[in-house]
Structures are given as structure tokens and as C-alpha cells.
Amino acid sequence: MTAPILRTLPELRAMTRPWQLAGETIGVVPTMGALHDGHLSLVAVAKDVCDRVIVTIFVNPRQFNNPEDLENYPRTEHEDAKKIDRFEVDGLWVPDGEQMYPRSFATTVSVTGLTDVMEGAHRPGHFDGVATVVTKLFTQTSATDAFFGEKDFQQLLVVRRMAADLDLPITVHGCPTIRDIDGLALSSRNLLLSDRARTVAPRLHEEMGGIAAGLAAGDAFCALRAAAVDRLEKAGFSEVEYLALHAQDDLAQLDAPTRTARLFAAARLAGVRLIDNIAV
Ligand code: PAF
């Protein structure tokens, strides 16, 4: 069964209203399209957990701090719809910019604290854009459950904070990062890597694994980090924006894994910005 594509809010509400009245659970998988197996794994979990599933596709201009990045972001709606077919989801919510942000739109949802570091520090305004659009996607779809990948771990925490603070009646589920066979975390941006850059890209995850092993053996984080950055730059990464240890719950920066921690990285390779994180 091909899922209906809804492009206006009245159409979407007409679809979800009977589900709500029947007391059915509604899962939402928010995406910006260019779907890969990571997204599809979220759809599969949503199908297991919820009575109804809506996948959203909207390339959200408000979360891009760089106009070139927004312009280059892959847009593949037709292929995306085909990839989702086999999951028999109940609807694809594909609003356009005017539907999402009419000219009079004047509201921003802003989460403080968790957004001070990493993506928040390096991409000003990014998380305001994410929190605003995700709040809208949650209320538009009337979802009871939402599914996010741990690849964007900071985003997952920000969305959870926003949903709790705004008393939104929704459970936010975090799902494991899906990786290619060589360890590269799946991301829509991987489509932008040249063949050569694609062979180098897995080095990021490899170096992160090396740091995790070093920490487990009792080595000092700052030495492990410095050596890894040096090797990444030699391998072709032009800029390592951050390679840092943060507490898993509040994202406080750590010098050593004294609390449950994750290692986070963002680095540029041939003009493409890659991010990743692993538990340590
Ligand atoms: O992770 C993404 O693809 C986006 O940040 C999201 C959650 C769909 C909001 O635009």
C-alpha cells in the first residue's frame, strides 16, 4: 500500500482525527528526506511501537546556519516515498515552506543549557530551528510517540527537554546509530562525499573507537585526543571542529569519563561536515 502524501494541515488533521478519537497511538518519524537505512530503522521501530505511523519530510531552512549547506542539502522526495513503501506507514507529511512558516510566523522555541556546546556552539541558531520545527511537527501530527536517531545525540536530548518543558504529551524514543559496514555513521550528507572522501570518512569513527579503547585502558583523554586530531588532519580532514567528551545526561564537558559519558565529534572532509558520537 502506498502511503498518502499530505501537504496541507487540514488534510493531515482529517487523517489523524479519527485515529485520535479511536484512542490509537501515533508515531512520528521527523526527517529532512534523503532517506537512508538509519531513517528506515526508525520507521521500523515506530511501526512496532505504534498503531499509526507518520513520516515527515521537510528540509527546515531555520536550522541551517549556512545558506550553501541548505542549498546543497539533497532533496529526493520521489525516491524517499519509494523507500518507505514497504513499511506500509499511514502517511507522509510533506509540507512546503509556506505551510510551515507563513509570512506572519513569529515564534521561536529555544532550549537553553544543552544547546551551549558542540552543535549549538558551532552552528548558531541551529537548535532554535530544530526545536521550533519539531514542536510544530509534534503538534501538527498529534503524535503520541516520536523516533530520533542517536547519531544526532545532542538533538535527541534537546528535543526531549523541549517536549518535557512544554508538557507535550509525547514519548521521545532514541534509537541506535546505524553504520555502514566500514563504521561510517549513515547520514544524508554522506551523499555529498566524493568517492575519494568516502574512503577517508570512516577514519572519524575509527579514531573515536581508538580513543574509547585508550580511555578504557586508563590513558589520558587530552593526549588521546591530540594524537587523533593529528591523524585525522593528515588523513585529509580539513578541520576538526570538536572532538570532546561530554556527560551523557546534561552534556557537561569532561576531561575524563568520570560520569557516564559519550565522545562527540564534528569534522569537515572535502567540504562536507560529518558528525558522530559513541558511548565510552
Ligand atoms: O534530524 C533531522 O533530520 C532534523 O533535524 C529534524 C529532526 C527532522 C528537524 O528538521
- Is residue 118 a contact partner of residue 266, using CB atoms and an 8 Å limit? yes
- CATH assignment of the domain containing 262: 3.30.1300.10
In one-letter notation, the amino acid at residue 176 is P
3-state secondary structure of 38: helix
Residue 180 lies in a domain: no
Q: Ligand 1 center to residue 157 CA distance, Å?
A: 13
From the candidates 36, 39, 122, 246, which is the catalytic residue?
39
| Tens-place pLDDT, residues 14-32 | 999 999 999 999 999 999 9
Decide whether any atom of ligand 1 lies within 6 Å of the 158 Cβ. Answer: no
Nearest to 261 by CA among 250, 274, 272: 250
Q: Which residues contact 151 (CB under 8 A, 6 or more apart)?
A: 38, 177, 178, 185, 186, 187, 275, 276, 277
- Give the residues across from 199 on adjacent strands: none
- Could you tell me if 112 and 136 lie in one domain? yes
39 is catalytic: yes
Among 126, 143, 175, identify where a domain stops: 175
| Tens-place pLDDT, residues 40-80 | 999 999 999 999 999 999 999 999 988 999 999 999 999 99
Q: Ligand 1 center to residue 22 CA distance, Å?
A: 29
- Could you tell me if 79 and 136 lie in one domain? yes
- Is residue 125 a contact partner of residue 65, using CB atoms and an 8 Å limit? yes
Using the predicted structure, report yes or no on whether residue 1 has a pLDDT greater than 90.
no
Using the predicted structure, report yes or no on whether residue 104 has a pLDDT greater than 80.
yes
Decide whether any atom of ligand 1 lies within 6 Å of the 95 Cβ. Answer: no
Decide whether any atom of ligand 1 lies within 6 Å of the 134 Cβ. Answer: yes
- Could you tell me if 240 and 214 lie in one domain? yes
Q: Ligand 1 center to residue 66 CA distance, Å?
A: 16
149 pLDDT band, cuts 50/70/90, is very high
Decide whether any atom of ligand 1 lies within 6 Å of the 130 Cβ. Answer: yes
Residue 182 lies in a domain: no
Atom of ligand 1 nearest to the CA of 63: 10
- Could you tell me if 170 and 192 lie in one domain? no
Nearest to 148 by CA among 278, 30, 249, 250: 30
Q: Ligand 1 center to residue 31 CA distance, Å?
A: 5
pTM of the model: 0.97
Handedness of CA 107, 32, 195, 237 (dihedral sign): positive
- CATH assignment of the domain containing 27: 3.40.50.620
Among 143, 175, 207, identify where a domain stops: 175
Q: Which three cell numbers stand for residue 101?
A: 512558516
What percent of the chain lies above the pLDDT cut of 90?
Answer: 98
Atom of ligand 1 nearest to the CA of 149: 1
3-state secondary structure of 146: strand
Nearest protein CA to atom 2 of ligand 1, as residue: 31
Domain count, the chain: 2
